[in-house]
Amino acid sequence: MSLTDSAIRNAKPGPKVIRMKDDRGLHLEISPKGGKYWRLRYWISGRERLISLGTYPEVSLRQARDRREDARRLIAEGIDPLLAREAEKTEARKNADTFETIAREWHARQAATWVTGHAEKIIRRFEMYVFPWIGAMPVHEIKAPDLLGCLRRVEAKGAVETAHRALQTCGQVFRYAIATGRADRDPSADIRGALTPAKEEHRAAILDPVGAGGLMRAIDSYTGHVVTRCALKLAAMTFVRPGELRHAEWAEIDFDNAEWRIPGPKMKMKEQHVVPLSRQAIAILRELLPLTGAGRYVFPSMRTSTRPMSEVTILAALRRLDYAKDEMTGHGFRVMASTLLNEAGWPPDVIERQLAHAERNKVRAAYNRASLLPERRKLMQAWADYLDALRDGDVNATCAPEK
């Protein structure tokens, strides 16, 4: 006897599962907790199978019968409805796994261990150069020509180095997709050598004392925003990475001990870095304190105090001072300090540690961290005094370590 809507509505649960039969294999199961589930029992290739057709009342009696008929049509063609449903789910899951979805998932995991500025740069590169072209494609369907076509657009803009960096990060996303079972291979491996070779670029920097003195005089005469002028001065005196300077926070500055302690997550090598502050650096920070000390960042954005200074601010200031891009860059302050300090005879270990370069030997690295801070204090004060002397035109100035 076929089921009716009223019989289904009035059916009450019992201590065990109750099965109310309809026609042609369709029945309703009522659990002891009151749940009502549509089931279809069928046979294919001599095997009995059971498939769920939904729950009542979300799926009405009429809808359940329609689903039964759809399943029986598949059976008549020799297709197992249960296997067909699994295939549809798999295909839907694959279609949902687009490159952009997986790239953002990969980025979110990696960003937890990256410096904030680096994480922002990676996702911005994806958004500008990759997602508009292959972001909506299922990751398992992307072939080498698709990826190459995307990166060739970047090349056409003259951004060859950016194209190579995008290829590298795309490869990491594809390998993540393989590891998580959503792709079979990495097409980025197939286009190595297909992009225009990137030219090795040396970061522009002033490498002679006379030029360094001219730079310091130019910074002193900078007529732009006072915060930017202070940032230029500290970039020269501390020679930290541009991103580390931009993201400096007042909470990291220890005036009593004349130290700037940069937390590990902000550093390229993920280790806390101590920057001893010279008397001149402390004076600059005290000049800034009334201007930006109420906020989080030492060098906040000009638009909002909740964000750090833009990454282009230092570069724009150098251009305003008439230093071309092949003469001086934000990173050039590091190169300048490294070159002149090495020429002055400072121990390479001390210089490299102050530059926060990684030491491959773990025992030596631990020794450097523990023992070189006093030497680094001397170096930083000698460097600040040297920059002042060069600024003042002292051609006989030196920053050689004391014997």
Residues belonging to the chain: 403
Catalytic residue among 41, 72, 94, 268: 268
* CA distances to 48, 216, 304, 355, 356 from 240, in Å: 71, 17, 24, 7, 8
Active site residue 357: yes
For residue 136, what are the contacts with CB-CB under 8 A and spacing of at least 6? 98, 99, 100
Active site residue 273: no
- C-alpha–C-alpha distance, residues 178 and 271, integer Å: 31
Active site residue 72: no
Active site residue 268: yes
Catalytic residue among 67, 233, 241, 266: 241
DSSP 188-237: GGGGTTTSPPPPP-PPP---SHHHHHHHHHHHHT--S-HHHHHHHHHHHH
- C-alpha–C-alpha distance, residues 192 and 172, integer Å: 14
265 preceded by a cis bond (ω within 30 of 0): no
DSSP 8-state class, residue 293: T
- Residue 9, φ and ψ in degrees, nearest 5: -60, -40
Catalytic residue among 273, 334, 353, 391: 334
How far from the centroid of its chain's Cα atoms is residue 225's Cα?
A: 30
For residue 236, what are the contacts with CB-CB under 8 A and spacing of at least 6? 215, 216, 219, 333, 336, 337, 387
Active site residue 367: yes
Number of neighbours of residue 52 by Cβ within 10 angstroms: 14
Catalytic residue among 36, 67, 125, 331: 331
Active site residue 334: yes
- C-alpha–C-alpha distance, residues 144 and 221, integer Å: 53
Catalytic residue among 24, 192, 286, 357: 357
- Known catalytic residues are 241, 268, 331, 334, 357, 367
